A and B are shown apart, each in its own frame.
Chain A
Amino acid sequence: MLLHYRVLDLTDEKGWMCGKILSELGADVVKVERPGGDPARNIGPFYQDIPDPEKSLYWFAYNTNKRGITLDIETSRGQEILKQLVTGADFVIESFPPGYLSGLGLGYSQLSEINPKIIMTSITPFGQTGPYKDYKGCDLVAMAMGGFMYVCGDADRPPVRVSMEQSYPIAGAEAAAGSLIAHHYRILTGEGQHVDVSIQECIVREIFMELCFWDASKEVSVRAGPRRRRMAAYQRDIWPCKDGHLGFRILGGRLGAGTLQALTDWMDTENMAGNLKGMDFESLDMSKVTRAESQEWENTLLQFFSRHSKEEIYQKAVEKNMLICPGYTPEELVEYEQLEERNFWTELQYPELDTTIKQPEGFLRASEARCQIRRCAPLIGEYNEEIYGKELGFTKRELALLKKEGII
């Protein structure tokens, strides 16, 4: 869909997802790394556990489809070359500390003089302005300052983040959406602009419900492990079963009564329905249930779940249309029949490693475009010749010279 557009991707791990999304939508994304490679190539896990900037699975995960070149933008020749690239580009994405690029003469106002249509998208921990703009950020800081951690984890232990970086891919996705909104303004007016993404703010939207409860009654939600605790309600969302856990919530009314009735009927066939038997789930309103009552039902359900595996429960849930899902591990996700049937995975070729690695094939199906993974993440400087030589017309000698001087 975005086949006609070129993106220069100067980001580190904070912004990789933005270019990945644009590339899956069809854009030509050129990853610009410093000579020697993006330092984030040193983040693991690594292929076969061999720490090597060409073997980072973290890099492989978020840089598929991109063509990679190297360029030292701290040298004046490097800056000239970047400007040359910008004249032929539609988007520039970056995640340097605020002010860094302006200091090199490569900020939005400087690049827009060369190419007034350029859209520059900056992804930073707290945004380009404000009292914390120069604060150092990382995923943990974003999850803490965005309000996520305070409501996550067991009450008797410190608050937790999700064990894998979440704020970066969220910020990358929101940055892709913001860049394309700016793109539609460019279609209307012919003008580019600067898109300023705050990673902290991306996380704030995740705690949407906490904000609703704060706005309604100044209630401060707290963490409760596998449960959520709000007002009177103290409800489990995560339920241990025989071989893992389930995602399920006790709910009455239109959303939950059918599930509870089907579940109770099933439990009854094993004489385990206990205090759930004969209840009127249609009129059940969990916001009016005491903690003691919900604890009793919870105990009955936990006893039953402990006798059944998550697959057994999921198959019954599918058969009876119950709102219950198994808690999957990465292994189970990879083996999940639904994703297999939808051709969600691709065996991506890694010629340098002489292997293929199974990866997600893209995030959408579109009737007019094949939104997919076309190539694996680039090696360091893999496309230098193609882009500097064939596209910008540098001679072999010029290329050799640039390499010798450490500019590419």
Chain B
Amino acid sequence: MNREAKSKRKKAPLEGIKVLDLSTQYMGPNVTRALAAFGAEVIRLESIHQHELTRVSAPYKDNVVGVNRSFVFAASNTGKYGISLNLKHPHSAEVVRRLIIWADIVVENFVPGSAKKYGLDYEQLRELKTDIIVLSLSAQGATGPYSRHPGYGFNLLALCGFSHFTGWPDREASVPVGAYTDFLCPWFAIAAILSALDYRLRTGKGQHIDVSQLEISPHFLIPAILDYTANGRVQTRCGNRSSSASPHGAFRCRGDDRWCVIAVFSDEEWETFCRVIGSPEWTKDRKFNTLGGRKDNEDELDKLVEAWTVLSTPEEVMTRMQKSGVASGVVQTIKDVVNDPQLKHRERFQILEHPELGAHICENLAFRLSKCEVEWKRPAPCLGEHNEFVYTKLLGMSEEEFVELLNDGVFE
């Protein structure tokens, strides 16, 4: 690119930011994925001996197991460089040193306390680079009596109170989507990292940030927590009910396991709702006139509403309700989501080519910036795919040194 073309090219928001990603599974990789989407250079470091769990997680391309064939890994690591390094090899320390000097940000999720043995805890990293920003992600925080207890999204969701709040009051708890907390937490960590970067630009100081799923998750339940700490009440799951709306639920529609949600908050919305369903006789019953009355007779009301919804498809119900200004939506399957006209309009899903997965779906983030586009520079890396480029071009190793370390097994 000549100089003129270069100056005309639009800047990416995180251009020039260098991230060393030592994290595994979902949360950390989804933090660095968002940074990569907006121009940060992210190097993901892995071991060849001990595969990152999401590399060996179903589903695989054509159902054939392989470290470069998991859709789970591909969907969390778009846009990054991938290198391999054996942290237990005696010659790895010098390679780590150069990676740290290269990086602005290090993201890690070692079990609290165990980064030290690899020379990778904050104090050690700061000696290599005084203004390094280290983001430590953990299940329950870097300190405290339970900090070393292993936790993954699929069981932390119980510890953090989400299963207690999912399902029906007369039944055992349901599981919200698997590994739920893993997907709630990245955004908080991204906001923290970007704030630390701003702080470093203004003060020249790096820092250590300690975030945990246990301490982010309660932020999704604060009203219920305050109902306990202020009022002594322990709330529990209630299906789809809401204290401020009725009807408020998922109603069966025409078709096989097809559902539509409807939510009526104000009395004005109730009147509109009644008109939309053709003002049948029962809607004139005075007990349904007020929110309190509808709440008191909600089981009966739900059955009456469903007698109407079941005659139509969920798309028809949603369209009729929304046309008149009543909140309503199809309970979409993943197939519906992928084909959703709104998401299509917003280009939520794009297709990327991956050397082993082939064409696969790559998701955008949930926000659009008016002046900056998400740019996926590459699909998720194959294991060790960018070793030569990263070690020689980005870190400046000579060819001889690279080959020597390679033959020595340092990059395994």
- Which residues from A are CB-within-8-Å of B205? 368
The one of B162, B216, B225, B229 that contacts A162, using a Cβ cutoff of 8 Å: B162
Asked whether, in the complex, the Cβ of B220 is within 8 Å of the Cβ of A360, the reply is no
Asked whether A45 and B144 contact (CB < 8 A) given A135-B322, A182-B13, A182-B372, the answer is no
Asked whether, in the complex, the Cβ of A158 is within 8 Å of the Cβ of B152, the reply is no
Interface flags, A11-44, vs B, CB<8A=1, else 0: 0000001000110011000000000000000011
Asked whether, in the complex, the Cβ of A245 is within 8 Å of the Cβ of B173, the reply is yes
- Which residues from A are CB-within-8-Å of B3? none
Asked whether, in the complex, the Cβ of B176 is within 8 Å of the Cβ of A152, the reply is yes
Asked whether, in the complex, the Cβ of A328 is within 8 Å of the Cβ of B192, the reply is no
- What's the tally of chain B residues with a CB closer than 8 Å to chain A? 155
Q: Within 8 Å of chain B (Cβ to Cβ): is A187?
A: yes
Bound together, the chains give a CA A397 to CA B325 distance in angstroms of 42
Bound together, the chains give a CA A160 to CA B249 distance in angstroms of 8
Asked whether A189 and B11 contact (CB < 8 A) given A138-B265, A287-B58, A364-B192, the answer is yes
Q: Within 8 Å of chain A (Cβ to Cβ): is B254?
A: no
Asked whether A57 and B226 contact (CB < 8 A) given A207-B337, A326-B159, A333-B160, the answer is yes
Asked whether A174 and B216 contact (CB < 8 A) given A141-B263, A158-B249, A329-B234, the answer is no
Asked whether, in the complex, the Cβ of A216 is within 8 Å of the Cβ of B327, the reply is no
Q: Within 8 Å of chain B (Cβ to Cβ): is A385?
A: no
- Which residues from A are CB-within-8-Å of B50? 254
Q: Within 8 Å of chain B (Cβ to Cβ): is A53?
A: no
- Which residues from A are CB-within-8-Å of B230? 47-48, 57, 355, 357
A window 182-224: CB within 8 A of B: 182-185, 187-189, 191, 193-202, 204-223
Q: Within 8 Å of chain A (Cβ to Cβ): is B386?
A: no
- Which residues from A are CB-within-8-Å of B222? 61-62, 359-360
Q: Within 8 Å of chain A (Cβ to Cβ): is B43?
A: no
Interface flags, A89-117, vs B, CB<8A=1, else 0: 00000000000000000001000000000
Q: Within 8 Å of chain A (Cβ to Cβ): is B156?
A: yes
Interface flags, A290-328, vs B, CB<8A=1, else 0: 000000000000000000000000000110010111111
Asked whether, in the complex, the Cβ of B14 is within 8 Å of the Cβ of A184, the reply is yes
Asked whether, in the complex, the Cβ of B223 is within 8 Å of the Cβ of A334, the reply is no
B window 119-168: CB within 8 A of A: 122, 140-147, 149-152, 154-168
The one of A131, A240, A255, A366 that contacts B341, using a Cβ cutoff of 8 Å: A131
Bound together, the chains give a CA A21 to CA B196 distance in angstroms of 14
Asked whether, in the complex, the Cβ of B342 is within 8 Å of the Cβ of A131, the reply is yes
Asked whether, in the complex, the Cβ of B231 is within 8 Å of the Cβ of A49, the reply is yes
The one of A128, A130, A220 that contacts B333, using a Cβ cutoff of 8 Å: A220
- Which residues from A are CB-within-8-Å of B184? 166, 170, 173, 206
A70 CB to nearest B CB, Å: 22
Asked whether A214 and B334 contact (CB < 8 A) given A44-B244, A338-B141, the answer is yes
Which of A226-234, A386-394, A399-407 is near enough to bind chain B? A226-234
B window 97-112: CB within 8 A of A: none
- Which residues from B are CB-within-8-Å of A145? 329-330, 332, 340, 342
Asked whether, in the complex, the Cβ of A1 is within 8 Å of the Cβ of B231, the reply is no
Asked whether, in the complex, the Cβ of B337 is within 8 Å of the Cβ of A204, the reply is yes
Bound together, the chains give a CA A214 to CA B337 distance in angstroms of 11
Asked whether, in the complex, the Cβ of B248 is within 8 Å of the Cβ of A226, the reply is no
Bound together, the chains give a CA A210 to CA B38 distance in angstroms of 25
Interface flags, A151-188, vs B, CB<8A=1, else 0: 11110011111111010011101111110111111011
Q: How many A-B residue pairs have CB under 8 A?
A: 513
B64 CB to nearest A CB, Å: 11
- Which residues from B are CB-within-8-Å of A166? 184, 220
B window 1-44: CB within 8 A of A: 11-15, 17, 26, 34, 38
Q: Within 8 Å of chain B (Cβ to Cβ): is A129?
A: yes
- Which residues from B are CB-within-8-Å of A4? 202
Asked whether A225 and B154 contact (CB < 8 A) given A164-B221, A368-B205, the answer is no
- CB closest chain-B residue, reference A161: B240
Q: Within 8 Å of chain A (Cβ to Cβ): is B380?
A: no
Asked whether, in the complex, the Cβ of A329 is within 8 Å of the Cβ of B161, the reply is yes
Interface flags, B301-337, vs A, CB<8A=1, else 0: 0000000000000000000001001111111111111
Q: Within 8 Å of chain B (Cβ to Cβ): is A337?
A: yes
Which of A71-79, A275-283, A339-347 is near enough to bind chain B? A339-347
Asked whether, in the complex, the Cβ of B163 is within 8 Å of the Cβ of A327, the reply is yes
Q: Within 8 Å of chain B (Cβ to Cβ): is A248?
A: yes
Asked whether A318 and B149 contact (CB < 8 A) given A164-B165, A359-B222, the answer is yes
- CB closest chain-B residue, reference A199: B366
Interface flags, B190-224, vs A, CB<8A=1, else 0: 11101111110111010111110011101111111
Q: Within 8 Å of chain B (Cβ to Cβ): is A331?
A: yes
Asked whether, in the complex, the Cβ of B226 is within 8 Å of the Cβ of A144, the reply is no
Q: Which of B26, B144, B205 is most buried by chain A, counting CB atoms within 10 A of its CB? A: B144
Asked whether, in the complex, the Cβ of B168 is within 8 Å of the Cβ of A160, the reply is yes
A227 CB to nearest B CB, Å: 7
Q: Within 8 Å of chain A (Cβ to Cβ): is B94?
A: no
- Can you name 9 A-B residue pairings with CB atoms under 8 Å? A43-B244, A137-B329, A164-B223, A169-B220, A178-B367, A178-B369, A207-B177, A247-B159, A329-B236
A-B pairs with lowest CB-CB distance, top 4: A247-B158, A247-B155, A216-B59, A61-B222
